[in-house]
Amino acid sequence: MRIIMKKIMPLILSLAIVLTLSACTSSKPEAPVGSEAPVGSEVPAEPEVTAESDAMAETETTTEPPEESGTRTVSTVMGDIEIPVNPQRVVVNWYIGDALATGLNIVGYYGWMQKTMPFYDQMMAATKIENWEQEEVMALEPDLIITYSKEDYETFSQVAPVLVIEESNKSPERTRIIGEATGTLEAAEKTITEFETKLKNAKEIFNTEAFKGKTFSILEDWGSSGEWAGLSYETGSRGGTLLYTYLEQQYPDKLKELIETSGNGRGTISYEVAHEYFGDYIIWCRQEGTESEYAQSDIWKSIPAVAEGHVLEIPGEYQGLFYFDDVLSLDAQLDYLVEALNGLVD
């Protein structure tokens, strides 16, 4: 029996070794991560990439970048203030067009609204503030307040950071200041560049024979009686900023003398002497729903600009277009003036 076992044992051991080797070669081990597959081994084919599968993968892996948070220090006329890096709820006093030109989200504004303003739809989407008071502004939960008034800093600084930009800063510089302060300078500069390009082209038109060396008056009839009786003249609002500051057009001598003597860029002139203040071209602003008494008079017909058809009448419903002097309003006013004035000489 012992002899038999000695003969059988080597056979059993040999069979066990054969079975073990067979099992090892029948199942392929996975290569370690980062290693190359052994030469001669089979590498599974990569799945075919189609436009559909590629789009699905991109959709699954793409995420929106997180919004910036925190504050930045900004130097203002009120000293250094901390304002949000990425303001989301902005309230403005007067400067709504400048703020919108930078792409800021305006949740509330204080000022007049009219349908011909170039950003009327955005004003409709925001809240019109009836009373510029702490309680009404606070209800809008602003994270930034933009204003022209230093007094507003004390009134509203407990509600939200207050960015004060004095009115001596004209647009588009005002737009640039807002852009720098709020991190929206790129959008602000894009809007400014578009306006300045259009302005450059317009200046070439005003250097043509029809307009070169001509004078311009912006006038509106307030009637023959009342506190503001007479014709009002304007150098800032009603398109004055665009016409005189950016297009660099001139007042008639008599009007220039009045402005320099009085120190006022706006005022009224009596019916009796108003004809002396008309330029070669007249921007004639109409009041909505009323007729001009002065335009019905005989003296009106004798004014050279009237006789030559050089009167650009702005209907009362377009008062909104010429109300503000932000870069968006200036841009829209420029379109209107260039087309309308060209129409007078065609």
What is the CB neighbour count within 10 angstroms for residue 99? Answer: 31
- Tell me if residue 36 falls in helix, strand or coil: coil
Q: What is the dihedral of CA 65, 70, 75, 79, to 10 degrees?
A: 160
Q: How many CB atoms lie within 10 A of CB 211?
A: 18
Judged against a pLDDT cut of 80, whether residue 192 lies above it is answered with yes
Model pLDDT for residues 22-50, shown as the tens digit of each residue:
443 333 333 333 333 333 333 333 334 34
Count Cβ atoms below 10 Å from residue 36 Cβ, excluding itself: 9
CA–CA distance, 307 with 209 (Å, rounded to integer): 19
Tokens representing residue 250 in the block: 């001139």
* Cα–Cα dist 197/314, whole Å: 25
- With tokens 């507003």, the residue in question is 152
Residue 228: the pLDDT is: 86
Measured at the alpha carbon of residue 240, what is the angle toward residues 238 and 245, in degrees to the nearest 5? 155
Q: Give the largest Cα separation in the chain, rounded.
A: 149
Alpha carbon separation from 155 to 143, 152, 162, 166, 345 (Å, rounded): 15, 5, 9, 16, 52
pLDDT of residue 68: 60
What pLDDT is recorded for position 118?
Answer: 97
The answer to whether 297 and 224 have CB atoms below 8 angstroms apart is no
Distance CA 319, CA 291 (A): 15
What are 132-186's pLDDT values in tens digits? 999 999 999 999 999 999 999 999 999 999 999 999 999 999 999 999 999 999 9
Counting DSSP H helices and E strands in the chain, the numbers are: 13, 12
DSSP codes of every residue in 277-312: G--SEEEEEPPTT---SGGGSHHHHHSHHHHTT-EE
Mean pLDDT lowest among 65-74, 190-199, 321-330, 334-343: 65-74
- The predicted model scores a pTM of 0.78
β-strands 281-285, 311-314 pairing: parallel
Report the amino acid identity of residue 270.
S
What is the secondary structure of 233-280 as a DSSP string? EESSTTTHIIIIIIS--B--HHHHHHHHHH--SEEEE-TTTGGGG--S
pLDDT at 13: 39
